[in-house]
Amino acid sequence: MGFSFSDPIALNHKNTTALPNNFELLQQTISQCYLCDLNKSRRQSMYGYGNIHADIMIVDAYVSHSENEHNAYYVGRSGLSLKNMVEKVLLKRIDEVYLTHAVKCKPRDSKEPSTSEFESCKAYLFKQIDLIQPKIIIALGEKAYRLITGDTTPFEQVRGERVNFSTFSLVPIYHPTHLLRNPSLKRETLHDLNKIKSAL
């Protein structure tokens, strides 16, 4: 039932020192961000939702169409699936964990964000991690894991394992959208979530 560990991955603190150390001011900065071209097509920047002192921080790769349309989290089939994971398996309310994205805006034309677009957002994410100081970061899916860590290890080798990410523990799991398309993988994800719950 326990985790195995991989080699530590450094957290890049570059540019985070220029950001506010106050969470409310950081949220305002993210909301008013114009660092990349996504500001031309988005409805809004989405900084995150939940408890800023959470033990669990969940990081998705980027804002979905449903989230962008409703300016809300845990919406659409994938969002409701994630809500069930949090409430029914981790036994937490959604306002007890913190959910955010590596890229704070919806990509254009439902494409994945570019590396340069993530580079514009990276300092925001890492500052959020610094301020929240979660016990465990859950990376939703392969894309989120690669954006956060830069690690190119095959996803199946790290999925469900506890990765040492700077001074934090990060656990990549299958994305809810991937589970909706591949329901046979739900049992493995249940096992991963139970390991996370037991580690808190």
Q: Above 60 in pLDDT, residue 85? A: yes
Tell the CATH topology of 5-199: Uracil-DNA Glycosylase, subunit E (3.40.470)
Per-residue model confidence (pLDDT) at position 31: 86
Burial of 70 (0-12, 13-18, 19+ CB in 10 A): middle
Q: Above 60 in pLDDT, residue 62? A: yes
- At 19 the three-state DSSP class reads coil
C-alpha 74/C-alpha 151 separation (Å) is: 27
Q: Above 70 in pLDDT, residue 12? A: no
Q: What is the pLDDT of residues 88-141, one digit of tens each?
A: 999 999 999 999 999 988 877 767 777 777 888 999 999 999 999 999 999 999
**Is there a contact between 158 and 151 (Cβ–Cβ < 8 Å)?**
yes
Q: Hey, where are the domains in the chain?
A: 5-199
Of 24, 84, 58, residue with least CA distance to 138? 58
Main-chain dihedrals φ then ψ at residue 150, nearest 5 degrees:
75, 5
C-alpha 150/C-alpha 146 separation (Å) is: 5
**Range with the largest mean pLDDT of 25-34, 67-76, 185-194:** 185-194
C-alpha 187/C-alpha 90 separation (Å) is: 14
Per-residue model confidence (pLDDT) at position 32: 85
Per-residue model confidence (pLDDT) at position 91: 97
Q: Above 90 in pLDDT, residue 7? A: no
Of 139, 131, 143, residue with least CA distance to 13? 131
Per-residue model confidence (pLDDT) at position 2: 60
Per-residue model confidence (pLDDT) at position 101: 95
- Stronger pLDDT, 5 or 147, i.e. the higher one: 147
| pLDDT, average across residues 1-14 | 52
